[in-house]
Chains A and B, each alone.
Chain A
Amino acid sequence: EAGVAQSPRYKIIEKRQSVAFWCNPISGHATLYWYQQILGQGPKLLIQFQNNGVVDDSQLPKDRFSAERLKGVDSTLKIQPAKLEDSAVYLCASRPDRDGGETQYFGPGTRLLVL
């Protein structure tokens, strides 16, 4: 079974530029999460999708971050414009369904450096 795929793996941009990350969850997984992990900290949930609907986006900085999950499969996370403090690893995770157990399966992450 293929794992969660993310691209790109690394990205370096200048502040005020835009960037987009892509995630393809494990086939059949209804729930998809985007996390931001700053060096030395735990992952912070940005947004959670159930199929193509948003379950929780309370910690998403909506003035600059946006995310979508068209057709309930893959998802994109966008930052526009980027700030220095957005430098972090952006992790995507998926889970089978709401009652399919507790395990979240994480992708390798995208390491973003904002200069």
Chain B
Amino acid sequence: GQSLEQPSEVTAVEGAIVQINCTYQTSGFYGLSWYQQHDGGAPTFLSYNALDGLEETGRFSSFLSRSDSYGYLLLQELQMKDSASYFCAKGGTYKYIFGTGTRLKVLA
């Protein structure tokens, strides 16, 4: 079957750096997306890796290794507002699949 696995919960302190991992088993893989979702809110797009390597967008970076079927989201200079759930997702034109999700708690 197709799946994207993530740790269920990660805790870090304000100002720290945290990495959220995503390992996948899917067919027809086109790339890896990351979404943020605050409690009661809708998912919002953060980043997309079509190719292997690191993509940087402000405090957020995302990495993909197709050979290892693995990616991660790196959040730097953590802020309280970063407390949310983070989902990786198999990208592409169709057969979109979201990961199990990681709940990030940022402590003061």
A-to-B contact residues, CB < 8 Å: 33, 35, 40-45, 48, 55-56, 58, 91, 93, 98, 101-109
State which of A41, A91, A102, A108 has its C-beta within 8 Å of the C-beta of B91.
A102
Question: Can you list 30 residue pairs at the A/B interface with Cβ under 8 Å?
Answer: A33-B96, A42-B89, A42-B98, A42-B100, A42-B101, A43-B43, A43-B87, A45-B95, A45-B97, A45-B98, A48-B96, A55-B93, A56-B94, A56-B95, A91-B42, A93-B43, A98-B93, A101-B48, A102-B31, A102-B50, A102-B91, A103-B45, A103-B48, A104-B96, A105-B45, A106-B42, A106-B43, A108-B41, A108-B42, A109-B42
CA–CA, A98 to B89, complex, Å?
17
Q: How far is the CB of B20 from chain A (nearest CB, A)?
A: 13
**A103 partner residues in chain B, CB cutoff 8 A:** 45, 48
CA–CA, A42 to B24, complex, Å?
14
- Which of B4, B43, B44, B50 gathers most chain A CB within 10 Å? B43
B-to-A contact residues, CB < 8 Å: 4, 31, 33, 41-45, 48, 50, 87, 89, 91, 93-101
- Known: A91-B42, A102-B33, A107-B42. Is A43-B98 also a contact (CB below 8 A)? yes
Q: How far is the CB of B49 from chain A (nearest CB, A)?
A: 9
Q: How far is the CB of B8 from chain A (nearest CB, A)?
A: 9
CA–CA, A91 to B31, complex, Å?
22
Q: How far is the CB of B24 from chain A (nearest CB, A)?
A: 12
State which of A93, A98, A102 has its C-beta within 8 Å of the C-beta of B48.
A102
User: A41–B100 contact, CB under 8 A?
Assistant: yes
**A107 partner residues in chain B, CB cutoff 8 A:** 42
State which of A35, A44, A55, A105 has its C-beta within 8 Å of the C-beta of B94.
A55
**A42 partner residues in chain B, CB cutoff 8 A:** 4, 87, 89, 98-101
